[in-house]
Amino acid sequence: MKVGNKIYWLLWAGLILSILGSLMFGAYAMNSTELFQGLFSFSGPEGKIGEGFLIYHIRLPRVLLAALVGAGLASVGAAIQGLFRNPLADPTLIGVSSGAVLFAVLAIVLTKSYWSTLPDWIQQTSVSLSAFIGGVITTFVVYAISKKDQYVSVMTMLLAGIAISALASAIVGVCIYLSDDQQLRDITFWTLGSLSGTNWLQVGILSPLVVGGLWLLNKQAATINALLLGEKEAAYLGVKVESVKTLIILIAALITGVCISFTGIIGFVGLIIPHFLRLLLGSNYTQLLPSSAILGALFLVITDTFARTIVAPAELPLGIITALIGAPFFLWLIYRTNNNQVML
């Protein structure tokens, strides 16, 4: 069996175990017997709220959302790194996250007067939609600025991304200043990232977009491989470079946009997951994309379990946990890579 296949099985097994484990832990912990009883029954004994209710109404949608968002962010990170030929590129760096947050915040604040009168699903879809549009717009602005003579300058791209992020956070700052208490809570939610209050509606909106987006992205795996050699080389091999770039950026903005619109900024997933897998598997995107999706899901399911159990019954924002775990791990990876003289 190839190393790649073994790792797939390990990753899938890990993901399923982490999902089951995540269903058990929480403000109310259950043991494995209770978990399995709960999985097959909705109501608890004597009409009380049972494990089944807890699992199906509260924990399962949240765990599924964590898995979808993790899969989406990690795969998009890998794809963006391939497109820009830079292992340090990340959806946050190219401005898509800050743009999504900015537009989400604008949607919350500008619709101030009649916001609370709207039905829940309209509130959620309109914020998600504007977050998505914001993500796409900022990505294209950053991309257009960094493109000169058919060549995308990575340096310009990073600088443009930083500048646009700064601009976005300044405008978000103005919005915070203008907002009332309820809106302030919503805004804080966007900027720190959290999965609290997840419901099936969100899972329902997110899953077709993320699954569909990842399916499209995986179909581009061989093309991203060719792009790693540079746009010119890819064109020599038969890649329609300009349309492929547009497609990948659109998918990346779509997935990142919708994920962030439900969870707020969750950093580091798109950076460390592909990087770690590249050390294990190499950089063949036909393997890297699917394995990034699974490991990303696994990572976010586990970190979200930490986020809601460490200070239970309260919870920590997820974005803080991913950075707390992700940053030191990433530093260790870089240190190790440097010492062993392995190429990135």
Positions touching other proteins (CB under 8 A) are 82, 85-87, 222-223, 225-226, 228-230, 232-233, 235-241, 278, 282-284, 342-344
How many whole angstroms separate alpha carbon 269 and alpha carbon 69?
10
Q: Which is nearer to other proteins, 146 or 225 (CB)?
A: 225
Structure tokens of 41? 């029954």
Both structure tokens of 173: 């700052």
Rounded to an integer, what distance in angstroms lies between the CA atom of residue 183 and that of residue 108?
7
Rounded least distance, CB 149 to other proteins, Å: 11
Nearest residue to 92 via CA among 210, 218, 260, 246: 260
Cβ closest to other proteins, residue 271 vs residue 323 = 271
How near is the Cβ of 268 to other proteins at its closest, in Å? 20
127: how many CB neighbours lie within 10 A of its CB?
22
CB of 234 to other proteins, least distance (A): 8
CB of 287 to other proteins, least distance (A): 10
Q: Closest Cα to residue 325, out of 279, 272, 285?
A: 272
Closest C-alpha to 288, from 275, 301, 272, 269: 275
CB 274 → other proteins: shortest distance, Å?
Answer: 10
With beta carbons less than 8 A apart as the criterion, state whether 108 and 115 touch.
yes
Range 303-306, long-range pairs (CB < 8 A, 24+ positions) = 303/66, 304/22, 304/62, 304/63, 304/66, 304/195, 305/18, 305/21, 305/22, 305/25, 305/26
Nearer CB in complex with other proteins: 283/292? 283
* Identity of the residue, 234 or 265, whose beta carbon is nearer to other proteins in the bound complex: 234
Question: Of 185 and 219, which CB lies nearer to other proteins in the complex structure?
Answer: 219
Residue 38 or 77 with smaller CB distance to other proteins: 77
Cα dihedral value 324, 329, 332, 334, nearest 10? -110
CB closer to other proteins, 112 vs 219: 219
In angstroms, what is the minimal distance from the CB of 334 to other proteins? 14
Q: How many residues are given for the chain? A: 344
Shortest distance, CB of residue 7 to other proteins, whole angstroms? 15
